[in-house]
């Protein structure tokens, strides 16, 4: 019974992205944060009723990943004392604390119930990919085929997410679950179904046209190729044939799509990935990064106060732009954390992200790494790419997924640390 309730709670956490965002609200993620808080309360009550405080403490003590996240939260909280708008700081800190308590609760109930956490994450990611890609394709068919509209890159295809870039990265982050089943399964029918799902993912990316997601997806395929090259246990020819055929068919369909503007052409979006100063979106991000660096240099210890970048960014952005647009995010979580909460908070956040890689190298896990765990590692890599060019730390859909991925890798790290391999 405990295991069933635990599974139900974990499913509730994972599928919080199905809760609609309030696109016209000041904080469009507020509903998801409210639901997350309710799930945290129920999960905490379940934890107290079924486990002792000693069980909880023993589960999380000496866990370096949780320790790093605790350091990040603690320093971020201290930065409130230097914030111009302390109310905004408290609001953002409460959101971070929701993620922190989710991390502690999900890790503890999963460990205490001895649930097969990695299989659960892989399977939930597969189901989520089906739901997200199906919904985006439904929106596309409804708008283009049924209503007869010409295609243009638009937020109407955002699916369950707040915008199309978030939707694209959400799909790419979960796609390693599909790769896992494609390469692991020995049944031809199941491989073909995985190929169909890859076709759906590639088609959604062609609709969403997020260049960052293109880069992340290409990175996944490249790393997967390196993995299979090193681990020559099986013949992967059929799996690769299905993978590349699915992507190619999608490309041939969407590269010939009739569009309303040149920026919506698939080929144009792909070829516009460049850093020579000719792209407005990239130039804007680089400008945000410059502003963040200036802020960090002036306020290295505690930053400008958690949640205050949206307030103070105008001061730094004005040095590089004559416009009046307020940068709510630095489009790089590591820089934004450093700007808002100081360099130490950013270091803790970086350590939280990269510690699994340290464990892999320390124990030479890469010499005998199971495809299932490698798939989880690929999910973390996608999140890191997203972190470097966007702001997933602010989104429940992205941060809760990071928590699931991190906990999976914590369990792997625990196993190797315990065995002292």
Q: Give residue 395's pLDDT.
A: 85
Residues 99 and 173 in one domain: no
Token pair for 234 = 């099986």
Q: pLDDT grade, residue 102 (50/70/90)?
A: very high
What does 294-319 look like in DSSP terms, one character per residue?
A: HHHHHSTTTTT-TT-HHHHHHHHHTT
Average pLDDT for residues 380-404, to the nearest whole number?
91
Range of the domain at 54: 1-115+284-421
Confidence check: pLDDT of 210 > 70 = yes
| pLDDT band with cut points at 50, 70 and 90 for residue 371 | confident
- Looking at the structure, tell me whether residues 204 and 131 fall in a common domain: yes
- The band of 322, judged by pLDDT with boundaries at 50, 70 and 90, is low
Residue 278 located in a structural domain: no
The answer to whether position 27 is within a domain reads: yes
Are 44 and 177 contained in the same domain?
Answer: no
Q: Kindly report the average pLDDT of the chain as a whole number.
A: 85
pLDDT reported for residue 225: 92
Asked if residue 204 belongs to a domain, the reply is yes
Q: Which of 227, 248, 271 finishes a domain?
A: 271
Place of tokens 């602010």: 394
Residue 246 main-chain phi, psi, to 5 deg: -60, -45
Dihedral (CA of 226, 231, 236, 242) sign: negative
Query: Is residue 386 situated within a structural domain?
Result: yes
- Of 209, 242, 271, the domain-final residue: 271
**Same domain for 290 and 414:** yes
Q: What is the pLDDT of residue 289?
A: 86
Per-residue pLDDT reduced to its tens digit, 282-306: 777 888 888 888 889 999 999 999 9
Per-residue pLDDT of 155-164, as tens digits, reads 888 888 878 9
Burial class, 325, CB count within 10 angstroms (exposed 0-12 / middle 13-18 / buried 19+): exposed
pLDDT at 28: 62
- Classify residue 166: in a domain, yes or no: yes
Count: domains in the chain? 2
Specify whether 243 is located in the same domain as 127: yes
Residues 111 and 5 in one domain: yes
Other beta carbons within 10 angstroms of residue 331's beta carbon come to 21
276 part of a folded domain: no
Q: What is the pLDDT of residue 421?
A: 46
Same domain, 339 and 382: yes
Q: What is the chain's Cα-based Rg?
A: 22
How do residues 235-280 score in pLDDT, each as one tens digit?
A: 788 999 999 999 999 999 888 776 665 555 666 666 666 555 556 6
Q: What is the pLDDT of residue 411?
A: 84
For 323-369, the pLDDT digits (tens) are 556 667 888 999 999 999 999 999 999 999 998 888 777 766 666 67
CA 355 to chain centre: 17
Q: Are residues 157 and 261 in the same domain?
A: yes
| One domain, residues 290 and 379 | yes
Domain termination site, one of 271, 293, 320:
271
Same domain assignment for residues 309 and 208: no
Averaged pLDDT, 220-229: 92
pLDDT of residue 353: 93
pLDDT at 39: 94
Q: Give the mean model confidence (pLDDT) for residues 78-105.
A: 93
Q: Is 279 strand, coil or helix?
A: coil
> For the chain, first and last CA: distance in Å?
35
Same domain for 172 and 289 = no
Mean pLDDT value across residues 66-86: 94
Task: Report the pLDDT averaged over residues 307-330.
Answer: 71
Check pLDDT > 60 for residue 42.
Answer: yes
277 within a domain of the structure (yes/no)? no
According to the model, what pLDDT value does residue 29 have?
A: 75
- Judged against a pLDDT cut of 60, whether residue 311 lies above it is answered with yes
DSSP 320: T
For residue 151, the SS3 value is strand
For residue 230, pLDDT beyond 50: yes
Let me know whether 187 and 88 are in one domain.
no
Q: Is residue 279 part of a domain?
A: no
């Amino acid at each position: 019974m405990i295991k069933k309730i635990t599974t139900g709670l974990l499913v509730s956490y994972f599928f919080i992205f199905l809760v609609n965002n309030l696109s016209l609200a000041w904080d469009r993620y507020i509903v998801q944060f409210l639901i997350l808080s309710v799930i945290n309360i129920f999960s905490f009550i379940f934890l107290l009723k079924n486990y002792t405080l000693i069980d909880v403490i023993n589960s999380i003590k000496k866990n370096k990943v949780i320790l790093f996240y605790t350091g990040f939260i603690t320093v971020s909280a201290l930065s409130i004392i230097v914030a111009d708008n302390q109310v905004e700081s408290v609001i953002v800190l409460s959101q971070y604390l929701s993620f922190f308590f989710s991390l502690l609760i999900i890790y503890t109930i999963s460990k205490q119930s001895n649930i097969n956490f990695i299989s659960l994450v892989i399977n939930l990611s597969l189901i989520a990919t089906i739901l997200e890609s199906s919904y985006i394709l439904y929106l596309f068919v409804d708008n283009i085929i049924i209503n007869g509209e010409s295609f243009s890159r638009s937020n109407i295809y955002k699916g369950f997410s707040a915008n199309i870039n978030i939707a694209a990265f959400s799909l790419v982050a979960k796609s390693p679950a599909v790769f896992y089943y494609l390469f692991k399964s020995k049944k031809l029918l199941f491989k073909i179904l995985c190929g169909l799902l890859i076709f759906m993912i590639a088609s959604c990316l062609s609709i969403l046209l997020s260049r960052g997601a293109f880069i992340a997806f290409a990175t996944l395929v490249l790393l997967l190729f390196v993995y299979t090259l090193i681990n020559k246990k099986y013949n992967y020819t059929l799996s690769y044939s299905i993978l590349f055929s699915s992507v190619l068919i999608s490309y041939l369909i969407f590269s010939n799509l009739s569009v309303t503007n040149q920026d919506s052409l698939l080929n144009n979006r792909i070829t516009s990935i460049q850093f020579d100063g000719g792209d407005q979106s990239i130039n804007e991000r680089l400008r945000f990064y410059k502003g963040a660096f200036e802020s960090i240099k002036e306020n290295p210890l505690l930053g400008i106060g958690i949640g205050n970048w949206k307030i103070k960014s105008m001061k730094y952005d004005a040095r590089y732009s004559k416009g009046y647009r307020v940068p709510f995010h630095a489009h790089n979580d590591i820089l934004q954390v450093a700007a808002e909460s100081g360099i130490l908070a950013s270091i803790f956040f970086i350590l939280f992200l990269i510690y699994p890689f340290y464990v892999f190298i320390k124990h030479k896990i890469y010499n005998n790494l199971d495809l299932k765990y490698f798939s989880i590692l690929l999910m973390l890599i996608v999140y890191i790419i997203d972190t470097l060019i966007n702001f997933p730390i602010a989104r429940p859909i992205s941060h809760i997924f990071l928590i699931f991925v991190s906990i999976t890798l914590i369990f792997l790290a625990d196993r190797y640390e315990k065995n002292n391999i």
